[in-house]
Amino acid sequence: MLSTDDDILGQAEAWAKAGKGVAVATVVETWGSAPRPVGSHLVIDEDGSFLGSVSGGCVEGEVVTEALDVIGTGQAKLLEFGVADETAWRAGLSCGGRIAVYVEKVG
């Protein structure tokens, strides 16, 4: 089933209420052509389960890894992805755009 914002942020709340460590990743800025609009969410729990998206699937893996770190430290992070960035070689956006993703812990 296609998940909506309802499901995504609802899931984050449910995970947190079940006592899990949870992070919310949000697309806060985009430049050029970006696959998901500003305000899109990806939510991640401490086991690496996730729901939603911040790109067309290009950088989700990287965001999940960073989110696990955020859940551990409690320290929010602002991530940037794009072709101009050297991370492009690891996790770039095939469409050539750039995005900034804010990752914060719930709780």
Binding site for other proteins (CB under 8 A): 2, 4-6, 9-10, 12-13, 16-17, 24, 26, 28-29, 37-39, 75-76, 78, 102, 104-107
* Type of residue found at 107: G
Q: How far is the CB of 94 from other proteins (least distance, A)?
A: 24
The DSSP output letter for 84 is T
E-state strands within the chain: 22-31, 41-45, 50-52, 77-82, 98-106
CB-wise, 9 or 88, nearer to other proteins? Answer: 9
Which residue do the tokens 């911040």 mark? 54
Q: How far is the CB of 99 from other proteins (least distance, A)?
A: 13
Please identify, using beta-carbon distances, which residue of 90 and 101 lies nearer to other proteins: 101
Q: According to DSSP H, which parts of the chain are helical?
A: 5-17, 60-73, 88-91
Shortest reach from residue 36's CB to other proteins, in Å: 11
CA gap 81, 98 in Å, rounded: 6
**Which is nearer to other proteins, 29 or 47 (by Cβ)?**
29
Contact status, residue 4 vs residue 76, Cβ threshold 8 Å: no
CB of 89 to other proteins, least distance (A): 26
